[in-house]
Chain A
Amino acid sequence: MKTIKGVNDFVIRFANVNGTGSASANNMFAKAIFRMGIPVSPKNIFPSNIQGLPTWYEVRINDQGYTGRRGGVDAVVCMNPQSMAKDIRDLEAGGYCIYDNTKPLDLRMVRDDIHFIGLPLTEICRKEYTQARQRQLFKNVIYVGALAALLDIEFGVLKDLVGEQFKGKEKLIAPNIHALELGYQYAREHYKCPLGIRVERRNVVGDRILMEGNAALALGAIYGGATVAGWYPITPSTSVVEEFEKYCGRLRIDPGTGQKKFAIAQAEDELAAIGLAIGACWNGARAFTATSGPGLSLMSEFLGLAYFAEVPVVLFDIQRAGPSTGMPTRTQQSDVLAAAYASHGDTRHVLLFPATPKECFDMGALSFDLADRLQTPVIVLSDLDLGMNDNLSEPLQWDDSRQYDRGKVLSATQLDELSGRFGRYLDVDGDGICYRTYPGTHPAKGSFFTRGTSRDEYAVYTEDGDAYQRNMERLLGKWETAKSLVPAPELHPARKATSDGVLFFGTSTASTLEALDLLREENIHLDGLRIRAFPFSDAVLEFIDAHDRIFVIEQNRDGQLRKLLIGECDINPRKLQALTYYAGMPITARYIRDAIRSGMGGGQVVPMRRQTAGVKP
């Protein structure tokens, strides 16, 4: 029988029932490997439910640093009878199935090409613990202990993690370590340890951190000076505001009075959430809201107002699988078009596409500068994969000399010194951006009326078509200015000259870069360009011009970024091949490799009729 072997290079999946406390045990497993200096990439695959449904935790361990999903599973920890048949079926040949053998395995599930490793978890728990909840919780810790033996995880690292996890609840430390030992001893006594797959201490993690993108976005908002947050709970964005509140509670409390230098309002719906943020920004604060697809739809009208009335505002959209309620706990990159053109009429919004927690932090902070500078909404498009999973990332960094860019705002003194009449929508320096004033600045100067209706350069209501068009054209001028201010794309050149390229963004990045490496081994070379913002800067156009065939990799059905590129950059659609994956799990390196390989062979990645719909050959 084949046996999968590998040191620091395998994928293990935990199949659990949600609400049984498996998450913290599984996190401990991933963290222990991370602490051993080995790059690790855990993905939580959870249901839209609180208790009783299947949940999975897939951990990729790879000391070459590939952190995207690879595809395939080498070992599975089967803790859920509901999903067990499929969990075993999905295992790679030669892989390992770790299961609870208190009861004999259903013979229909037996495969002769994988290794079964039975642990009598229920029986151990029955002997050791009297309370049902204890039995449930410790079962998870016991299998982590067994994995330590089976995979060679340093037991001391696990003990340290238990100590940290229960800091302040010290009496829980000993029982948890005992549970780890129970599993560890059982595995040692009954199996040859370690297995063919195992870990070994490395020093390749360096100073990197393991954190969720949503926490990084929240910290970006704090460092970027956001003081007001309006929000409405929606998975997977909820933890952005929860983390914002948590860190504000530590970092933004006035030491003298205990009062808060921030305000969070849980609104009645997403309309109010963004209305609140817009109201605060209009009044000179930095404010944001966080949401996901359905919330973005609801916020559309307000986004149009902020675009047209030129009020800065920041929106963090943590995308999930749509349309409608879709798969609310699965990931996608499917709000690109909805965000780019949110609202009726001719609107367009600045988008930022982070790919790592560090970039969530950087773009989180940057979004407030951009919104103030451009006086327009800035939408950061993250997703569930980045937002809610622990992602390996460069550490967060802040330059203490950095000043906030509050954009063009006139003070009372500047208003007094102004020679001509103040025109809120008068472009005095040709970049399409006009000076604004905060309410309450000056007793007699600088006041104006903000409105979603057409107005002239002096903010006076008008239905004059010329004045309306002048304003709309100026907004386009401002859009041009934005191109030079948003983050530039990131080039990943091939090692050999090539006329093939790939365009990608956000959480498709790690898997794409790995796929390019895999293809290189087959002597297939493609240049890569990671898009980091909309509007697209000139470098994006130059990349497209420089290549004959370009795959646009994205996690949605319709190739939304591709459509945006075609429409905005006037590209021949046949030049851009859609490479899409949208089943709700993060895209894998193997999928991208296979799709590019077959796409290169002349076949289309996506069926022709969908690819070329509406295009006459």
Chain B
Amino acid sequence: MTYIRPQFRHPNLPTNELGFTRQHYEGALSTLCAGCGHDSVSAAIIEACFELAIEPHRVAKISGIGCSSKTPTYFLGNSHGFNSVHGRMPSVATGANLANREMIYVGVSGDGDTASIGLGQFAHATRRNLNMVYIVENNGCYGLTKGQDSATADVGSASKKGDPNPYEAIDLCALALQLGATYVARSFSGDKAQLVPLIKGALAHSGFAFIDVISPCVTFNDTPQSTKGYEFVREHMEATGKMDFVPVRKEITADYEPGYTQEVTLHDGSVIHLYKEGADSVRDRDAALRAVREHKRRGRILTGLLYVNPDSQELHHILGTVKTALRDLGEADLCPGSQALTNINNSFR
């Protein structure tokens, strides 16, 4: 673990379309434990934003409380961030989004933050189809308070403390599917090749994009008896199939592989190519739910893009708000003036 980040960068670092290097997308130095899965997720977010050439200041990073919720400090240093209160990131994100529909909202949460204290807010942000990327860094335990089981810990899974968890686990992907999320994926912090395109797809998706990233806690829950440890996940994960994300501008030069079995065009014109086995469509919510359950029954972890509905209506569409960001409206748009008030007064006489 280093405490001082070297400022030196190779002069010929690759740049994206905006002329930014990856460095432009980095944040402060992480203070998480060495080897923490969460740092890999931060790196994947940086990679996805860099490759998509997103202007960092157009992103708002919002989180709750916990190890995962600290991570927005460690990526996109040129974005505004809001580390709110425990379990309440979804409501803050909802308000932020309503204020300005023109930005990109990335929420980062943990399994305690989302599956326990914030379960209600998670459920309702999902129902609203809020246009945001919601990433859960899921390690099955409360890291910041030293390793208590969380609500996503599988039955029988044991952390460093040694006692097997006796309670049924909440499967956040299954829940998101039931609650109407319009982009649902699961991944593993150790699988950057899978995670980066999933995040890109989520960023391009219009609506509630949920990614449950199993992200091992090296300090408290990386035991051989844990189902959220590196070893178990590597051995038991199964992907729905490889995914390529093709941004709308890159159609011609993209380095995607031919031979995909499914293609989904997202709201902004970008395309997801899926190399899936089987006949189930990635747009079939029920099939996705069945697949998640079936894999769980077999002791496997199903990863990859589970479901997407590119035609859904996000919250602003449901509410019918103006295209301009509400926060940019001034007196002329917002204040009805004294003449209207005269009429209102008359209605109370």
Q: Which residues of A contact B (CB under 8 A)?
A: 34-35, 207, 209-211, 219, 222-223, 225, 227-228, 230, 247, 251-252, 254, 257-265, 267-269, 271-285, 287, 301-302, 305, 395-400, 402-404, 437-444, 447-453, 460-461
Asked if A271 and B84 make an inter-chain contact with CB atoms under 8 angstroms apart, the answer reads no
Asked if B252 CB lies within 8 Å of chain A CBs, one says no
A211 to B330, CA, bound (A): 28
Complex partner residue of A450 from B77, B83, B330, CB under 8 angstroms: B83
Known: A283-B99, A305-B84, A437-B80. 11 other contacts (CB 8 A): A210-B349, A227-B329, A259-B321, A272-B91, A275-B121, A279-B97, A302-B88, A398-B335, A439-B100, A443-B56, A451-B83
Question: Interface code B18-45, partner A: CB below 8 Å = 1, 0 otherwise?
Answer: 0000000000100000000000000000
Taken together as a complex, chains A and B put the C-alpha atoms of A394 and B257 apart, in Å, by 73
29 cross-chain CB contacts under 8 A: A222-B335, A223-B335, A225-B335, A230-B91, A230-B94, A251-B336, A252-B334, A259-B323, A261-B321, A262-B321, A262-B326, A263-B326, A267-B124, A271-B121, A272-B94, A274-B91, A276-B92, A278-B95, A285-B100, A396-B345, A398-B341, A402-B335, A440-B80, A443-B56, A447-B56, A447-B57, A447-B77, A451-B83, A452-B85
Q: Which A residue sits closest to B333, measured CB to CB?
A: A261
Bound-complex Cα distance A263 to B325 (A): 11
A272 proximity list for chain B (CB < 8 A) = 88, 90-91, 94, 120-121, 124
Whether A279 lies near B82 (C-beta < 8 A) is yes
* Shortest beta-carbon contacts, A-B, top 7: A279-B95, A275-B91, A285-B99, A439-B80, A279-B92, A280-B95, A284-B327
**Contact: B95 with A281, CB < 8 Å?**
yes
State which residues 95-131 of B face A: CB under 8 Å: 95-100, 102-103, 120-121, 123-124, 128
For B103, list chain A residues within 8 Å (CB). 283, 439-440
Complex Cα–Cα for A449 and B69 (A):
12
Q: Which residue of B lies closest to A449 (CB)?
A: B81
Contact A443 B78, CB 8 Å, known A280-B95, A399-B338: yes
Whether A279 touches B79, Cβ cut-off 8 Å, given contacts A305-B84, A443-B56, is no
Cβ 8 A contact of B334, one of A227, A259, A275: A227
* B58 on the A face (CB < 8 A): yes
B282 beta carbon closer than 8 Å to chain A: no
User: What 1/0 flags go to B332-349 for Cβ under 8 Å of A?
Assistant: 011111101100110011
Interface residues on chain B, size class: 35 or more
Flag whether B331 is at the interface (Cβ < 8 A).
yes
**A268–B326 CB distance below 8 A:** no
Tell whether A461 pairs with B73 under 8 Å between CB atoms, given A259-B323, A276-B91, A396-B344: yes
Question: How many angstroms from the CA of A532 to the CA of B256 in the assembled complex?
Answer: 66
Nearest to B104 among chain A residues (CB) is A440
Q: Which residues does chain A contribute within 8 Å of B123, judged by CB atoms?
A: 268
Chain A residue nearest to B123 (CB atoms) is: A268
Q: Is B13 an interface residue (CB 8 A)?
A: no
Query: Which residues on B sit within 8 Å (CB–CB) of A444?
Result: 57, 78
Q: Is B62 at the interface (CB under 8 A from chain A)?
A: yes
Whether B93 is near chain A, meaning CB under 8 Å from some CB there, is yes
A301-B60 contact given A219-B344, A269-B120, A440-B100, CB 8 Å threshold = no
Determine if A443 and B98 form an interchain contact, defined as CB atoms under 8 angstroms apart.
no
A210 cross-chain contacts in B, Cβ below 8 A: 348-349
Task: Say how far A497's CB is from chain B's closest CB, in angstroms.
Answer: 39
| A272: nearest chain-B partner, CB-CB | B91
User: How many Å lie between the Cα of A281 and that of B57 in the bound state?
Assistant: 18
With known contacts A281-B95, A404-B331, A268–B78 Cβ distance under 8 A: no
A452–B83 touching, CB < 8 Å? yes
Query: Is B99 in contact with A280, judged by CB distance below 8 angstroms?
Result: yes
* Identity of the chain B residue whose Cβ is nearest the Cβ of A274 in the assembled complex: B91
Q: Is the CB of B79 within 8 A of A439?
A: yes
Instruction: Point out the residues of chain A lying under 8 angstroms from B72, CB to CB.
Output: 449
Q: How far is the CB of A188 from chain B (nearest CB, A)?
A: 29
Say yes or no: A228 contacts B95, CB within 8 Å. yes
Contact A441/B57 with A261-B334, A283-B327, A453-B83 known, Cβ cut-off 8 Å: yes
> Are A271 and B88 in touch, CB under 8 angstroms?
yes
